[in-house]
Amino acid sequence: MVINTESVELLIKILEKDFLDEYLYDTFIRTKGVKGFLNHQNTLGQRGVEAYIKEELKRVVEDESYEDLYEFYKLKNSLKQLKLDIQYINDNSHQIIQRALKKVYKIVPKDMPIRSNIYLYCGGIDGGFTINRNNIFINYGKYLDEKEEFIKILSHEMYHSRKLPIENRALLLLRLISRENRLLFEIIGKIIEEGIACLVQHGPKLEKDDLTGNLTKRSLLLARDEFDLMNNIIIDIKSSKTNNPNSKHLNIYVIGYMIVSYVYREKGVFILDDWTVNLNFRRIIKEYIELCSRKEISSGFNNGVLEWIIK
């Protein structure tokens, strides 16, 4: 594995000028890092992003006071640091990848392969994302001059890119034939997936807020609101209402990290293999509920919802 920095290197050249160089821009927009970002935006229902990026970049290079939505202006104001960072990544790519893998394999079984293409891009609100378990995209704009945080987000996305056994993927497809199972998997499955990825990234105790704002100490204190929202969404699924408008506001990182980090602290890593290897969330949820019951603390789950999830 190597870290592809081409799109950021071209962005640096674009931002160094006081006009939008069309040749540089056309080359930039065709890089794998930017194309991956654009495709990801399309899957989220955001159309016309490419034209908007061009418009925003043009305004940033021509107007020193303009602050764009993608935060290219911050990179323009920190070009010296950005160059140093990219040079460091290019010189130490192997070491960075190995440090990220070391974090991943504290949670993932050693015999589970992780082999992905890694691309850097800049822009948007995400820290990164993974496509088809073999292409990792990291929004380096969020990690400027944050070497340790960059390794942490890389480890998070590496967890998502783990190679699952073929037979386990086949069993999952069979389970998802049921509409209810499919919708439940979309909620609880994502919660556990992101919870374990956040455990890989931050460890069992959150020492520093995530730079994207998805997981913060404050949000963990207010997790009750997220659990209430989750319960309402699942109740709607159970009653065949599939279009809960609040589902897009659910912070799955907070709920997932609350559940997974607690189970990990109390029970260790092996129970997490039920999801990491087998994509089965039920045992993890059951253990979490039992732990909360023994400690006489609220699990956050509505009783009716809980019975349906772990049946």
Per-residue pLDDT at 157 = 98
Domain coverage including residue 154:
3-160
Sequential pLDDT tens for the chain (311 residues)? 899 999 999 999 999 999 999 999 999 999 999 999 998 888 777 777 888 899 999 999 999 999 998 999 999 999 999 999 999 999 999 999 999 999 999 999 999 999 999 999 998 888 999 998 899 999 999 999 999 999 999 999 999 999 998 887 787 777 767 777 788 888 999 999 999 999 999 999 999 999 999 999 999 999 999 999 999 998 888 777 666 666 778 999 999 999 999 999 999 999 999 999 999 999 999 999 999 999 999 999 998 888 888 77
For residue 131, the SS3 value is strand
Cβ-Cβ contacts under 8 Å for 75 (sequence gap 6 or more): 11, 12, 15, 82, 122, 141, 144
Q: How far apart are the first and last CA of the chain?
A: 41
Domain boundary among 104, 132, 160: 160
Pair 114, 211 in one domain: no
Pair 239, 276 in one domain: yes
Domain boundary among 160, 180, 199: 160
Give me the long-range contacts of 232-235 (CB less than 8 A, separation at least 24). 233/187, 234/184, 234/187, 234/188, 234/302, 234/305, 234/308, 234/309, 235/302, 235/304, 235/305
Per-residue pLDDT at 102 = 98
For residue 137, the SS3 value is strand
Tokens of 199: 């455990």
Pair 133, 185 in one domain: no
Pair 181, 149 in one domain: no
Per-residue pLDDT at 174 = 73
Tokens of 225: 């609101």
Domain boundary among 113, 142, 160: 160
The domain tally of the chain equals: 2
CB contact at 8 A, 204 and 264:
yes
Going from the C-alpha of 200 to that of each of 45, 88, 177, 185, 220, the distances in angstroms are 29, 24, 30, 21, 17
Per-residue pLDDT at 242 = 61
CB contact at 8 A, 110 and 95:
no
Q: In what order do the strands lie in the sheet with 128-131?
A: 3-4, 117-121, 135-139, 128-131
Pair 120, 223 in one domain: no
Pair 121, 218 in one domain: no
Pair 121, 216 in one domain: no
Pair 46, 193 in one domain: no
Cβ-Cβ contacts under 8 Å for 40 (sequence gap 6 or more): 126, 129, 131, 137
In terms of residues, how long is the chain? 311
Pair 27, 154 in one domain: yes
Calpha distance 70→67 (Å, rounded): 9
- Which residues, in sequence order, are bridge partners of residue 118? 3, 136
Tokens of 119: 């691309």
